[in-house]
Structure 1
């Protein structure tokens, strides 16, 4: 059997779809993730930033130099938006986003012919395992986005039509993963707040069905749009803390109303903070992580100060910081007021420090309090994992890969990839 190695760049939905491709291939091929020795390499691409595209080109050249006789396939968002560029780079087969579902037929044709592939509408991915081990698995529930953010290239790749996986398929996939022993299921998509728009249902209705399934497990939601969170969703999440993680990745992008308008995000600071307050009125410990873009075209020093102030006000657990990257085909790429790289780099450095201070203040509120940690790995006499607030814990003692109730004693800081990584030191109770 031919050896296939899958490399994944980008979001959780890409990770899920890579697992889906692996499971479709494993009856005909020996499939592995990130193996540098293979007959066929599949790179699942991302186009959200120029850096993501650079990493793909770098990865391709390194693998090609090491295995010049192997076949190279690229799938995903970068290949959807720039197929000719990737063909010229040297890939043997370039496949778009939806064509991932035809990966087995594509590889069989590529190996047995001149590479011509006739695609058909294949069924949804449904997985039975996870590339992350035996504790956490992903389910892709939605694709596409109706938003028109001026900086975003993903909608050009993924499309503006919402495609929701049928609820009965989600329930079946979810149940199979729980029965296989997975304890945390992450529901993911391009914009999962739009789940059900095409099926006369909603994310809230889907969650209401899932939380009734037997077993000890929890759901974690991937990134949500503040505009798509209503009172019913807030109530369902906060009233089921043992079933739904008390943490949301709530997309921000800027703390300046003026910049949010330029980005066409469709909400204001006031709307965003009203969502945060709705959750924290019920559970003051509720955790938020977010994304922020610095150096958007026309962003002034005052706009940037608004972002710093807002990050302090919300008290995020973690802020993912991106320097603005002009993406081909987007409105923002042609906007006036493009900022130089040194300004963007300086603002990212300043925001990083403010975000770390925000994280410390948030974590301090958990000292002396209990939480439920899902143990994922062991290290030098400690067990490590994440709790319902997405806080990383280092727990004295060795415990099985299951839920453990702990009490936080102190906040630890360790250096990881040149930035401070914060976590809690806790004891089981």
Structure 2
């Protein structure tokens, strides 16, 4: 039995689709994730930044040098927009985004010269459905949506994923959700390219899907992978905050800049005030509600004053965590052709400054959690301590070897860990 090893770059939807591909192959191949020794390597690619692509090419060269006789397959967003480049690099099989679901037939064709399962696989197999997760036995993903209707000036993902919204039917999601709960998973993450567009063009929207899932009994919770500020309304805010036992009290709410002028250049189509009002509405219903976000520094035309506005906005909103990106001009995007490109040394300097402010923002938020109770889902234990995340996406370190269940804890201390120039803060807590 040949061994297939998956390597995944990018978003949670990619992680979900890697699991989906693995399950399509598991009865015919030995499956592994991030294993350097395999007969076949499948790399699920990302094209968000030039750095992501560089790291992928670096991984390919390392694996190719180690296993020159193995087969190398690349799938996903990078291969969708740059297939010829990757063929020239030496990949044996280059597949786009929509071909992932037919991975078994495509692999059969590569290895045997014929698509033995092609007819059976294509028939009725538009969507992935998974029964497990590469992360272990506590958290699993469900991809519910693909595509994005926005036209952000810097984004290349819509060129790869498309501008048509493809929403997985509710019944398929419900079946997948209940199967994962029966398999013992306690947290289900709903993911997609822009899940706020779920159900676009139909009568079923994200709120209706969540209400359908909330009807199921049991000891579990849903986490939403990311929300678009343009697609949040009061009904969604109310539904999330009124169900803290079943829906995580945390969302990843992409910001990108704290300057209205830069947001307009980015074509984000919201203002700081709009973003602030969403944060305030969530926290009005639940003052502990947490937010993580993405911010791009060095977007074309970003001035020092624009950057300082972003720093002030970060200080004000107290984000739990910020993913800081230096602007990367992506081929085919409007921003790549803009004048007033910011020099690399300034982007690097601004990224370091923002990371420092982001750490202070995180610490300020976490200090307010001291002495408070949270519901932690234990994910692992080293024998002395157990580790897991609560409903606010705060990681806790709890004394004792605890079962992989929900445990109510009280936070007693904040501790710092991290590498390079970024610190991460976690909570030490006691079982209540």
TM-score (norm 1): 0.98
- Tell me the distance in 2 between the aligned counterparts of 1:132 and 1:417: 25
Residues 21-51 of structure 1, C-alpha deviations (whole Å, 9 max, x = no match) = 0000111111111111111110000000000
Q: Contact conserved, 2:108 with 2:115, CA < 8 A, in 1?
A: no
- Map 1:115-130 to 2 at 5 A: 120=122, 122-130=125-133
- Match in the other structure for 1:381: 384
- Match in the other structure for 1:36: 36
- Tell me the distance in 1 between the aligned counterparts of 2:205 and 2:225: 15
RMSD: 1.4
Q: Tell me whether 1:394 sits opposite 2:397 in the alignment.
A: yes
Q: Tell me whether 1:131 sits opposite 2:134 in the alignment.
A: yes
- Match in the other structure for 1:146: 149
Q: Tell me whether 1:325 sits opposite 2:328 in the alignment.
A: yes
Moved more, 135-144 or 417-426: 417-426
Q: Tell me whether 1:420 sits opposite 2:417 in the alignment.
A: no
Residues 58-116 of structure 1, C-alpha deviations (whole Å, 9 max, x = no match) = 01101111111111110000000000000000001100001000000001111011899
- Match in the other structure for 2:288: 285
Gaps spanning 5+ residues in structure 2: where?
A: none
- Match in the other structure for 2:317: 314
- Match in the other structure for 1:69: 69
- Match in the other structure for 1:94: 94
Gaps spanning 5+ residues in structure 1: where?
A: none
- Map 1:106-121 to 2 at 5 A: 106-113=106-113, 120=122
- Tell me the distance in 2 between the aligned counterparts of 1:116 and 1:169: 26
- Tell me the distance in 1 between the aligned counterparts of 2:307 and 2:288: 27
Name which of 185, 192, 198 aligns with 2:201: 198
Q: Contact conserved, 1:382 with 1:394, CA < 8 A, in 2?
A: yes
- Tell me the distance in 2 between the aligned counterparts of 1:10 and 1:199: 29
- Tell me the distance in 1 between the aligned counterparts of 2:32 and 2:363: 38
- Secondary structure, counterpart of 1:368 in structure 2: coil
- Match in the other structure for 2:24: 24
Residues 6-28 of structure 1, C-alpha deviations (whole Å, 9 max, x = no match) = 11000000000000000001111
Q: Contact conserved, 2:356 with 2:422, CA < 8 A, in 1?
A: no
Q: How many pairs were matched up?
A: 429
Q: Contact conserved, 1:145 with 1:162, CA < 8 A, in 2?
A: yes
- Tell me the distance in 1 between the aligned counterparts of 2:236 and 2:252: 14
- Secondary structure, counterpart of 1:197 in structure 2: coil
Q: Tell me whether 1:334 sits opposite 2:356 in the alignment.
A: no
- Secondary structure, counterpart of 1:383 in structure 2: strand
- Match in the other structure for 2:2: 2
Q: Tell me whether 1:262 sits opposite 2:260 in the alignment.
A: no
Q: Contact conserved, 1:369 with 1:408, CA < 8 A, in 2?
A: yes
Q: Contact conserved, 1:110 with 1:116, CA < 8 A, in 2?
A: no
- Secondary structure, counterpart of 2:413 in structure 1: strand
- Tell me the distance in 2 between the aligned counterparts of 1:106 and 1:37: 22
